[in-house]
Amino acid sequence: MSSSEDRGISRRDVLAAGSAFAATGAVAGLGMSPGSAGAAAGTEADAIVVGAGLAGLVATSELVAAGRRVLLVDQEPEASLGGQAFWSLGGLFFIDSVEQRAAGIKDSLELARADWFSNAGFDRGVDDPLGEDHWGARWAEAYLQFAAEEKRSWLSGLGMTWVPIVGWAERGGQMADGPGNSVPRFHLTLGTGPGVMEPFEKLVREAAEAGKVAFRFRHQVDSLSTTGGVVDGVRGSVLEPSDAERGTPSSRTKVGDFELRAPIVIVTAGGIGANHDLVRENWPSYLGKPPARLITGVPAHVDGRMLGITEAAGARLVNRDRMWHYTEGLINHSPIWPDHGIRVLAAPSSMWFDAEGSRFPNPGIPSYDTLGTLEMITRTGHDHSWFVLNKRIIDKEFVLSGSEQNPELTRKDLAAYLAGRLFHDTPPPVKAFMDDGEDFVIADDLAELVKGMNALVGSDLVDADALGRQITARDQQVDNPFTKDTQVMGIRNSLAYSGDSLARTTPLHKILDPAAGPLIAIRMNILTRKTLGGLQTDLSGRVLDSAGRPIPGLYAAGEVSGFGGGGFHGYRALEGTFLGGCLFSGRQAGRAAAAESA
C-alpha cells in the first residue's frame, strides 16, 4: 500500500482533485475520454509509459491485457518504434532449453545461478536493504527462475522461434568460479531483434486501433509531475514533426509544450550508450582514464535523459559506474547514426594483440571475457587493439551483431543462414567490411600486414619481427596435442562442442599457413552499448527513493532500471540477457501496475 493510502487518501482522490487540466481540450484526439475504462477522473489514461522501446511495448501490452488504457510517449518519430531492440541480433538467454538438450548441453538452474553470480560479482550491500546491489541480486534470482522455466514457453506461445544451434558467448576461460558461461546459452531468435519486437508491437498496435493505447511520438518528457508526493503525470516539449528514418537522428526543435496525467507512470527510456559525455562522467575508476575515442553501438536517442529526470523526482539511481562496452567494435562503412559501430562476435581462433603488437594473455581471447579484456586495453593507454587472423578464420568464425548485418536471420530464412554458416563462405556483410571497412588490413605476408597496420593508425607502433615471433610461437603449439597455450586449449574445447564445430569454430591450424590466407589484421575499437546500473526498483518494478521506499505512482523497466533493481547483471553480463531483461522487467512492471490500478 502506498504512503498516500496509509494516510487515508487514495491516489485517485489526489489526481481527481488536482487535474483540471485534463478536463480541457488536452484530451482531444487521444481516442480516450476522461474516466473511461477505469481511468481516474481528470486523467487521460490509466498509465503513461515513457519510452516506446521493447520494455515499453511489453509493459504496455501487459497493461492493455488487463483492461487498462495507456498513453505511450516517446521523443522519436513513429519510425523508431521499438527503439534499439530493432537493431539487435536477437540473442536470448535460456536455461536447459529444448535446443540445449538436443545438442547434448547439460545445463541447470543451479549451474546458471553459479555462473551468473560469479560473473556479476555483487559487492555493494547485497544483504542490506539500502545496498546498491540488494535489489539487483534479487532481480537476478527472479530472472534466472524465469529463464529456466516460463520464458521460452511464453515467447514461443507468442510465435517466436530460434536457431537450433546454441551460441557460446562470454566463455570466461578461467577458473570454475570465475566469470563466464560454463555452457552455451545464447539462443538466436529467427527474425533477430525485429522478431523479438514483433509480437509486442502487434499487440500494442491492435490495442491502439481499438482505442486502448494512444501514441504520443515527438513528445520529449522534461519532468515528472507530482501531487502530494504521488507521481501523477509527465510534462515536456512537443518536438517538430520528423521524417527521420529509423535509427537516424531526429530534430530536437521544440514547437510546443505538453502535460499528460495518469495515476501511474512507467519509465522505460533506456540507457546512456549514445551520450559519450555521460559515459565518460560515469566511467568506472578501476578502468582508469576513459578512452579519448569511442564509437557508438546504439542510436543517438539513447541519451540517458530520463535517468536524471527521474532522479530529480526523488528516484534513487545506483551503480552509475557499471556499464557494458564491447572491445571488438568496427567503424561502420555505412553508418546510420553518428559514430556508428558494429560489434564482432568472434569465436576463439583470432589472435588478439594490444596497440603495440603484444599478445594479450588470458582472458584476452575472443568470446571469453568482455570486461576483463576492456580492462587490459585501457591499461595500455591506447584506445584500440588488433585481431590478427586469416581468411579461413574469418569465413567461419565472424558474426556481426545487428539485425541489418544478418539479413537471412532477420527475414527468418533459416535454411539460407545455416547454409552460409555450414559451408563457410565469407558472409556478405563481413565481406563488405573487408572491402570497405576502414579498420581492415589484408596482405599476403606479415611484413606487408604490419606496414598496413602502422599506416592505418599513423604510427609505427607494431614491430613486424616481434609480432611474427608471437604468432610463430602459437603456431608451433598446433602440432602438439599437449599444448601449454591457453588459446589453443580453448579452440580445442570449442571444437568439442558440436554447434561450434559445425558452424562457428575453424579447425585448428596455423595462422601463417599460406593455404589459409591471406592474412588479416583488424583494428578493434571500444564500442559503447549498455548501461548496467540504473533506477533502483523492487521486484514489482516500483521505483525506490533514497530511503528504499517505493515512490507512489512510479515504475521503471528495461535498461533505465539496470534491467531490474538498478543492476541485475552486476559488473558483467552473460549475454542474451539485455533483450531478456527488457522482456522480464517490462512484464513485471506492466503486470504490477495493472494490479495496482485495478
Looking at the domain assignment, is residue 457 inside a domain? yes
Residues facing residue 460 across a β-bridge? none
User: Of the candidates 482, 501, 527, which is a domain's last residue?
Assistant: 527
Reduced to 3 states, what is the DSSP secondary structure of residue 534?
Answer: strand
The band of 39, judged by pLDDT with boundaries at 50, 70 and 90, is: low
Amino acid 26: pLDDT? 36
Indicate whether 67 and 108 sit together in one domain.
yes
Grid coordinates representing 81 are 518504434
579 lies in a domain? Answer: yes
Written as one letter, the residue type at 111 is L
Question: How far apart are the C-alpha atoms of 26 and 35, rounded to whole Å?
Answer: 14
Q: Do 435 and 555 fall into the same domain?
A: no
Contact 194, 403 (CB under 8 A): yes
Domain co-membership, 507 together with 591: no
Q: Secondary structure of 248-279 in the HEC alphabet?
A: CCCCCCEEEEEEEECCCEEECCCCCCCCHHHH
pLDDT beyond 80 at 25: no
Which of 85, 21, 121, 112 has the alpha carbon at shortest distance from 375? 121
pLDDT at 8 over 50: no
Which triple of cell numbers denotes residue 377?
A: 586495453
Which of 56, 121, 163 lies closest to 416, judged by CA? 163
Q: What is the pLDDT of residue 100?
A: 98
Residue 28 has pLDDT above 70, yes or no: no
Query: Is residue 224 within 8 Å of 307, Cβ to Cβ?
Result: no
Q: What share of the chain is helix, strand, coil (3-state, %, to 5)?
A: 40, 20, 40
Same domain, 409 and 381: yes
Residue 44: what pLDDT?
Answer: 83
- Whether 65 is in a domain gets the answer yes
Say how far apart CA 373 and CA 364 lie, in whole Å: 5
The torsion region of residue 531 among left (phi > 0), alpha (psi -120 to 50) and beta comes to beta
H or E element in which residue 345 lies: strand 341-345
The strand ranges marked E within 440-510 are 440-443
What is the predicted pLDDT for the residue at 422? 84
Question: Whole-angstrom Cα distance, residue 524 to residue 212?
Answer: 47
Q: ∠583-343-163 over CA atoms, to 5°? A: 55
Residue 277 lies in a domain: no
Give the model's pLDDT for residue 24: 30
**Does any domain span residue 173?**
yes
Tens digit of each residue's pLDDT (9 = 90 or more) over 502-555: 999 999 999 999 999 999 999 999 999 999 999 999 999 999 999 999 999 999
Residue 363: asked if its preceding bond is cis (omega within 30°), the reply is yes
Alpha carbons 13 and 42: distance in angstroms, whole number: 10
Closest CA to 260 of 229, 293, 219, 290: 219
Could you give the CA distance from residue 494 to residue 16 in angstroms, rounded to a whole number?
Answer: 62
Which has more confidence, 36 or 210? Answer: 210
Q: Could you tell me the CATH number of the domain that includes residue 69?
A: 3.50.50.60
DSSP H or E segment with residue 330: strand 323-331
Residue 36 resides in a domain = no
The residue behind cell 556508428 is 340
Secondary structure of 353-375 in the HEC alphabet? EECCCCECCCCCCCCCCHHHHHH
pLDDT-based confidence at 32, cuts 50/70/90? very low
Do 318 and 334 reside in the same domain of the chain?
no
Which 8-state DSSP code applies to residue 96? Answer: S
515 shares its domain with 546? no
Q: What percent of the chain has pLDDT over 90?
A: 90
Nine-digit cell string for 590: 506492466
My answer on whether 555 and 467 are in the same domain is no
Residues 209, 111: one domain? Answer: yes
Q: Residues 516, 564: one domain?
A: no
Domain harbouring 498, CATH code: 3.90.700.10
The pLDDT, as a whole number, for residue 42 is 58
Contacts of 308 (CB under 8 A, 6+ apart): none
Is 278 inside a domain boundary?
A: no
Rounded-to-integer distance, Cα 289 and Cα 279, Å: 12
Convert the pLDDT of each residue in 154-208 to its tens digit.
999 999 999 999 999 999 989 999 999 999 999 999 999 999 999 999 999 999 9
Give me the mean pLDDT over the 551-564 stretch.
98
Residues 362 and 504 in one domain: yes
Domain for residue 285, yes or no?
A: no
Residue tagged 510465435 (cell numbers): 159
Mean of all residue pLDDT scores within the chain: 93
399, 501: one domain: yes
Q: What is the mean pLDDT of residues 569-580?
A: 98
Q: In what helix (H) or strand (E) does residue 221 lie, and over which residues does it extend?
A: strand 219-227
d(CA 424, CA 419): 8
Q: Would you state the pLDDT for residue 35? A: 33
> Which residues is 1 bridged to in the sheet?
none
What confidence tens digit (pLDDT) does each residue in 334-390 have? 999 999 999 999 999 999 999 999 999 999 999 999 999 999 999 999 999 999 999
Task: Inform me whether the pLDDT recorded for 487 exceeds 70.
Answer: yes
Nearest residue to 348 (alpha-carbon basis) of 477, 501, 476: 501
- Percent pLDDT > 70 in the chain is 93
For residue 11, the surrounding DSSP H or E stretch is: helix 11-18
Q: Which three cell numbers stand for residue 417?
A: 543462414
| Structure confidence at residue 3 (pLDDT) | 37
Amino acid 153: pLDDT: 98
* Residue whose C-alpha cell is 529526470: 309
- On whether the CB atoms of residues 559 and 534 are closer than 8 A, the answer is yes
Residues belonging to the chain = 598
Angle at 134 between CA 128 and CA 135, to 5 degrees: 140
Q: Which of 473, 495, 527 is the last residue of a domain?
A: 527
Structural domain harbouring 474: 325-527
Rounded CA-CA distance 448/592 in Å is 61
DSSP state of 82: B
Phi, psi dihedral angles at 116 (to 5 degrees)? -60, -50
Report the C-alpha gap between 363 and 376 in whole angstroms: 9
Give me the mean pLDDT over the 15-36 stretch.
Answer: 35
Question: Could you say which of 527, 547, 568 is where a domain stops?
Answer: 527
Q: What are 295-346's pLDDT values in tens digits? A: 999 999 999 999 999 999 999 999 999 999 999 999 999 999 999 999 999 9
Position 36 pLDDT exceeds 90: no
| Rounded CA separation 557/54 (Å) | 10
For the chain, what is the total number of helices (H) and then of strands (E)? 20, 21
Same domain, 329 and 230: no
Q: Quick one: average pLDDT of 276-301?
A: 96
Domains: count for the chain: 2
